[in-house]
Amino acid sequence: MVKKAKVDEKKKKVGLLALWIVIGVIVVIIFGFGLVSITGNAVNKSAPVCKDSDYGFDYSKQGVVRSCSLGVFCSSSVDYCVDSKRLKEFVCNNNEKVVKTYDCPKYCQNGACVTKMTPVK
């Protein structure tokens, strides 16, 4: 009877240890992947995030759009000139990256519309 009690006690300890390990793994997953913020603010890493350095359709300034989805798949797109008159402008719309081709009034140089061309050095 004593032997059976010792075996049952060992099974309880092993089961309790396994439970604590599972709880530890769950805590690491939740906090490690940012599903819960320690500050108490909710964090939704699955929502797409988009940021534009020139804050939208600013054709006179070269900008960079950085967009991320699932919190890890990120890409950057830089405004650029298709030719001496046309600009590819990247912007954020509803937290998603979109691109528009814009005809500059005068010229396009270095990813922005300009009124006069600067000589290349």
**34-45 tens-digit pLDDT:** 444 455 455 555
The reply to whether 39 and 56 lie within a common domain is no
Other CB atoms closer than 10 Å to residue 48's CB: what's the count?
A: 15
The reply to whether 33 and 81 lie within a common domain is no
Q: What is the pLDDT of residues 59-118, one digit of tens each?
A: 999 999 999 887 678 899 999 999 999 999 999 998 889 999 999 999 999 999 999 988
- Strands (E) located in 1-121: 49-52, 64-69, 73-78, 80-81, 86-93, 96-103, 107-109, 112-114
The reply to whether 3 and 33 lie within a common domain is yes
With respect to residue 119, please indicate whether it lies within any of the assigned structural domains.
Answer: no
pLDDT at 1: 60
Residue 114 or 1, more confident? 114
- Nearest CA to 107 out of 87, 84, 88 is that of 84
The reply to whether 68 and 30 lie within a common domain is no
**pTM of the entire structure?**
0.59
The reply to whether 53 and 36 lie within a common domain is no
The reply to whether 77 and 28 lie within a common domain is no
pLDDT at 40: 47
For residue 22, what are the domain limits? Answer: 1-43
